[in-house]
Chains A and B, each alone.
Chain A
Amino acid sequence: MKRNFLSFVKKESLHILRDKRTMLVVMFIPIVLMILFGFAISTEVNNINIAIVAPNRTDGVTDAVNRLAANEYFTFKGYINQDEIDIQLRSGKVGAVVMFTPDYDKRVAQILEGLPSTPAIQLIVDASNVNTAGAATAYLQSVLLGTASQQSMFETRMLFNPQMKSAYNFVPGLMGFIFILVCAMMTSVSIVREKEVGTMEVLLVSPVRPVKIIFAKMIPYFVISCIVLTIILLLAHFLLDVPMSGGIGGIVTISLIYLALSLSLGLFISTITSTQVAALLISAVVLMMPILMFSGLLFPIENLPKFFQVVSNIVPARWYIDATRKLMIQGVSILAVWKECIILLGMTIMLLVVSLKKFNDKLE
């Protein structure tokens, strides 16, 4: 019986190996996404063009401007007159204008002495892109505060990701997304294909319980996912410098649980659909959309409306991405994410039980 199980696995692997296009997609999507998100697409705010309005270029003003110009987030575009502000912002030549008051030095001195004063600097920011505007304002303030006030009320330290690198944020998210794609979508489609092509009919009229054939189907996809996991972790660590300070063991453990969960999901989808298109649609709509929207991959869960925050609890990727972020970036041990592990395990068992019960060894 072991021999025939192995031959099922072999047959399944042949299917995958001969479908070169799909193989290419599965192997290259993670790499392309990693590189895209790592270098090209990022939520970090870089290279904001700024212009300065400074009626009196005193030492204090020059000092502040030099600080801004030296900062890698800003590109200093030169001094402009007050009446040019609107044109410059509208034309998109600059993203923000820093306007120093004529009596900048005096006002700063008053603030430093703790005397009541009106603001010494005005920031005019192009807010047509909210994210950029928000980040630009924050950066500008933090840079300028250094000159204006040595005695701020706050001292901020960014732990775990002091440079606010977005790679740290998206790598776990990407993993949560890719594994569902490879495991759930591809297994469900490959099981349903047998129904659609008619080979399932022949498989059923044999002494082998179909469940066994289906488990044999999952193995090659599991192997592919493990390869993808390795690629992602290597790229993340060596190319994007994601720390993985909590140790690789914890990340691999929770990823394996998540892989099992995705495979079970694929099995479940295959029991409720009978055409490849339906399986694909369900994987895409029922799995991908919530993963993109409600898992913390694109938007923080805390920002979602209350209702969707509740919904996000049943999205497995949410727990996985959460836990992986903690493991990778905060560097906690696997014990610190025991709750997520239990939830993912529970979901896996539930899905397996339901789909094995639902799996039909007849045609209707």
Chain B
Amino acid sequence: MYAVEINSLSKSFGKTKALDSVTFAVERGELFGLIGPDGAGKTTLFRLLTTLLNPDNGSATIDGFDIVKDYHTIRSRVGYMPGRFSLYPDLTVEENLNFFAALFGVTVEESYDLIAPIYSHIEPFRTRRAGKLSGGMKQKLALSCALIHRPSVLFLDEPTTGVDAVSRCEFWDMLSELKTKGITILASTPYMDEASRCDRIALCDKGHILGINTPQDIVNKYDSNLYAINADNMFNLLEASRKATGVIECYPFGESHHLVTNEEFDLNHYKEELGDFKNLTITPTAPTIEDMFIKLMKR
């Protein structure tokens, strides 16, 4: 039995199709990532799976329980951390944790071993109001609260949005550790660089799943040549490259532009076509998940 099994799930809000016939399954003990930009339908999918919304079409089960019929059972089995900070800012760290423990009918002591690796970071601030914590600490507290009842499946909706780079990295380390304790984790993120921390990822956009695979396989399936190009005048370089022969796509990527090419592409011919660019460098580069995402999105 899969931990999460989703079968052509659809949900619309008015005329907008937030989710369009989504199907996939998550293995028990897997760290599964939903990667996609804002408006991809990630939050809607999480709300459906946590039984906060009812689907228009299709079905889904969590640990074998139906999200519509058995929603009360599911609510006590899963842990949910919404995208927005959803704790009480006027209560202290400790009071928040105690409240959520009571909500699930457990005590903090009973679950301390599970939350300790996360909670120990914020325990020195336990008398501080949650609203006065930094972004990273808020996320740790929210995760501790979501874990307090030892959920079998954990849903994390954009847990690292608004968190600094170091804390984001720490956060994913914690998730990897939780995975070893047998908790199935579904996390969504708009950051492509976080995708490599997942066992498997689903790329999604505008309510559709574009592809599901391990981060490595997703990258391996990339079948075009890719170059990173740089020059002094980056804007004109982008414009000129897009017009060149054999170029499928050119887009800004960090400090360079990524150039996707087909078999017609010839490096020397391309340089001629570009004309005069100061400090022009063209180096072949390995594709990333983001390159794959852009490619899938254009299709």
Contacts and interface: CB of A to CB of B under 8 A. Distances in A.
A198 B84 contact: yes
Contacts of B98: 7
A15 to B, nearest CB: 6
Contacts of A197: 84, 86
Contact of A14 (B53, B87, B95): B95
A4 B81 CA distance: 21
Contact of B91 (A14, A203, A364): A14
Nearest to A204: B52
Interface in B60-112: 72, 75-76, 78, 80-82, 84-88, 90-91, 95, 98-100, 102-105
Contacts of A206: 75-76, 103-104
Nearest to B107: A3
A335 interface: no
Contacts of B81: 202
A8 B75 contact: no
B95 A11 contact: yes
Instruction: Tell me the interface secondary structure of chain A in the complex.
Output: helix
Contacts of A115: none
Contacts, number: 75
How many chain B residues sit at the interface, stated as a range, is: 20 to 34
Nearest to A3: B102
B47 interface: yes
Nearest to A17: B90
A87 interface: no
A363 B95 contact: no
Contact of B90 (A4, A15, A204): A15
A306 interface: no
B214 interface: no
A205 interface: yes
Nearest to A8: B102
Contact of B88 (A1, A7, A15): A15
B261 interface: no
Interface in A1-20: 1, 3-4, 7-8, 11, 14-15, 18-19
Contacts of A199: 86-88
A62 B66 CA distance: 96
B23 interface: no
A7 B75 contact: no
A207 interface: yes
B54 A207 contact: no
A90 interface: no
A208 interface: yes
B50 interface: yes
Contacts of B88: 11, 15, 199
Given A7-B99, A14-B95, A206-B75, 14 more contacts: A8-B102, A8-B103, A14-B91, A18-B91, A198-B84, A201-B47, A202-B100, A204-B75, A205-B51, A205-B78, A207-B75, A207-B76, A207-B105, A208-B103
Q: Which 7 A-B pairs have CB atoms at the shortest separation, nearest pair first?
A: A207-B76, A7-B102, A4-B102, A198-B86, A205-B80, A198-B84, A363-B52
10 contacts: A1-B105, A4-B103, A8-B99, A197-B86, A199-B86, A206-B103, A207-B103, A207-B105, A363-B52, A363-B53
